[in-house]
Structure 1
Amino acid sequence: MKKSTWIWFSLMRLAAFAIPLVIMLLLGMIPWLAALLAAIIGLCVSYIFFARTRNALSQSLYENRKTKRISTQQADEAAEDEAVDNSLAKETPGNA
């Protein structure tokens, strides 16, 4: 996974929240209301304008998870094959 995509997206989301928050606080708005409105504004801005970056991040997360799942699955299959081979090797001398 590209760390730069994750960092860039996080910084953009943080800015989309912080900039409206600072503006509303400077205008003298009640802090909890300013934070609530800044969160809503940040969510809307992120959803509308950051779609390309969000899609790139989700694609890289998917590929990273898929790669880990495949390697884990291959390791599980190898361990299972080894266990079956060991049990067959133990049974064969006793049956012959």
Structure 2
Amino acid sequence: MKLLASTTLALASLLLTTQAFAERPDFSKTAAARADYLFANNPSAQLDQVQRSSSRHDFSKTTAANSEYRFADNPPADETELEPRTTQHDFSRTEAARKQS
């Protein structure tokens, strides 16, 4: 039984070490490693291209651009009181500060 266990262990370690010392692929020899390779020409990249929209909006096509549009008919906006915003954060109220004390 000991002979079988030691033989199995020796074979397993031999297989694992040969895989560990196997030659790793050298990606510097691939076509994509060349400096003039264009990744944009890959077929998968061409499928995912999103059309760029203009950064300017054409307000002449909106309803309000119509000369007959009456701004006075717009419903009034809800007036809500907003808390005044501060530029500094009070770190003494954080969870980490509570755990320290």
Shared fold (TM-score, shorter chain, > 0.5): no
Name which structure has the greater RCO, CA cutoff 8 Å, separation 6+: 1
The structure with more helix, counted as a fraction of residues:
1
Q: Which structure: larger Rg?
A: 2
Please give the TM-score of this superposition, normalised by the length of structure 2.
0.28
